[in-house]
Amino acid sequence: MSQPNNPVDYIARTREQYANLGYPPYRWVRNDEPPSFTPLRKPVSQSRLGLVASGGIYKVGQVAFHYRDDFSFRVIPSDTPNSELRATHFAYDLTDARRDPNAVFPLETLRNLAAEGRIGALGPNAYAFMGGIYSTRLVRERLAPAIAEHLQKDEVDVALLVPV
């Protein structure tokens, strides 16, 4: 498979998509401070990995995400089969995510990597929320700390963040 010559202009594409949806322009967050860096204490092949994704995935029986700026999240057991995963989101074409949730929530892929010994193990749960949250304050003060607390309880060594 050949790679495209030009990368996807994510910012321009997001601006266009939000405009087409009739929403105000997406406000990008600027962080003037670089994030702190914490090196891994052990190889990934020996690490417990947590999954956090913004594609609006939820498990059958859970409440679907349903409005822009929904800063709630869903706890999805890591052994949940793909057949029990659903996707809803206001700002991207859900066709591929509904056909194969691994497109935005690679839980099955990560289970396979754990079985192959490429990662040590998966945490007991994965976490999903719906991206496109306009309130950076709510993300910074509520959503991110709540998910981080769950990841700590799950005793994960590293988290894979999958943006949409």
Kindly report the average pLDDT of the chain as a whole number: 88
Q: Can you read off the two tokens belonging to residue 67?
A: 């409005």
Categorise residue 12: left if φ over 0, alpha if ψ from -120 to 50, beta otherwise: alpha
DSSP 1: -
In this prediction, residue 8 carries a pLDDT of 63
Report pTM.
0.83
Q: In this structure, are residues 75 and 147 in contact, taking their beta carbons and an 8 Å threshold? A: no
* HSE-CB of 83 using CA atoms within 13 angstroms: 0
Query: What are the domain boundaries of the chain?
Result: 42-162
pLDDT digits (tens, 9 = 90+) for 83-139: 999 999 887 788 999 999 999 999 999 999 999 999 999 999 999 999 878 788 888
